[in-house]
Amino acid sequence: MKVGFVFPGQGSQKVGMGRGWAEGQDAARQAFAEADAALGESLSKLCFEGPESELQLTRNTQPTILATSVAALRGLRAAAPGLEPAYLAGHSLGEYSALVAAGTLDFAEALRLVRRRGELMQEAVPVGQGAMAAILGLASSEVEEAARAASTGAETCAVANYNSPEQTVIAGHKAAVERAMALAKERGAKRAMPLPVSAPFHSPLMRPARLALEPALAAARFADPGIPVVSNIDAQPLGSGAAARDALVRQVDGPVRWVESVEWMARQGVELFVEVGPGNVLCGLIKRIVPGAKALSVAEPSGVADVVAAAGL
């Protein structure tokens, strides 16, 4: 059976994440120790104990999710050494976790990059000027049209995440996003929900963050992936370290093509998707994208047994 490992992005964080792995698996505990050393602070304590207000800050959310995902990955590899993924992918921030798993990015360097990424994304748009919203029950092409119609010369709205056939996320200037939400409802959307985020991620408003992050990515060492990583921005596997770096630059202000990424892996024969990291958001999306697909989470060590059984190991 072909297996794909997928890694969650921002929004999956919660106080207590990773604690089960750190308490029960030496390899996972070591990952958290490395994360603390890389950033010179107790990232692990923030994961395990909070406070939630600090965990929700984008500059903290991104490295803590990466650290938890890599800890879970190492714990999973130690607990189920016969489980080998054919493909890797990560949702937004999760692409950094996938690149660490592929041997493309050094873990410590990835932590420093996502800390900077989080800071730059937060600084790109003044608080209150940007917004994001999830549109449910409307074809993505209709959502694209609503976003275009809601945009003006001064205010823009665009699709940020193609999450599932039933869920498309938009982002941009707050007023334009609100207009797009109203248009989506007029076109038949079941729901249009504002998202509790601090910035309009993966929208054209993130261009200042992209330009500022590019030099840091240019200075980082990228090896060629040891396992194919399907990129967010192109929904195709990355062929080299240089391609991985370029994809991370472009995904800052480009949309996350999660539907196409999962469909591509399914076409290659992936039958079991394992969500490695906090939460199980991606499992739900994958089951909607590929009906009948098996999608399991290892947010906790207790999930390993189900994964091993599903993989037939």
- Bridge partners for 297 per DSSP: 275
Report yes or no: 278 and 65 within 8 Å, Cβ to Cβ. yes
**H-type helices in 5-139, by residue range?**
19-24, 26-39, 43-49, 52-55, 58-79, 94-101, 107-124
Catalytic residue among 151, 202, 203, 261: 202
Using CA atoms, how far apart are residues 310 and 53, in angstroms rounded to an integer? Answer: 37
- The dihedrals phi and psi of 129, each to the nearest 5 degrees, come to -90, -25
CA-nearest of 238, 241, 288, 240 to 262 is: 288
Specify whether 92 is catalytic. Answer: yes
Specify whether 202 is catalytic. Answer: yes
- DSSP for 201-250? TTSGGGHHHHHHHHHHHHHS--PPPSS-EE-TTTSSB--SHHHHHHHHHH
CA-nearest of 226, 221, 232 to 93 is: 232
- The dihedrals phi and psi of 57, each to the nearest 5 degrees, come to -70, 130
Using CA atoms, how far apart are residues 273 and 276, in angstroms rounded to an integer? Answer: 9
Under 8 Å CB-to-CB from 117, ≥6 apart: which residues?
62, 93, 209, 213, 252
Report yes or no: 272 and 287 within 8 Å, Cβ to Cβ. no
Using CA atoms, how far apart are residues 295 and 287, in angstroms rounded to an integer? Answer: 7
Using CA atoms, how far apart are residues 208 and 213, in angstroms rounded to an integer? Answer: 9
Catalytic residue among 92, 164, 203, 261: 92
Active site residues: 92, 202
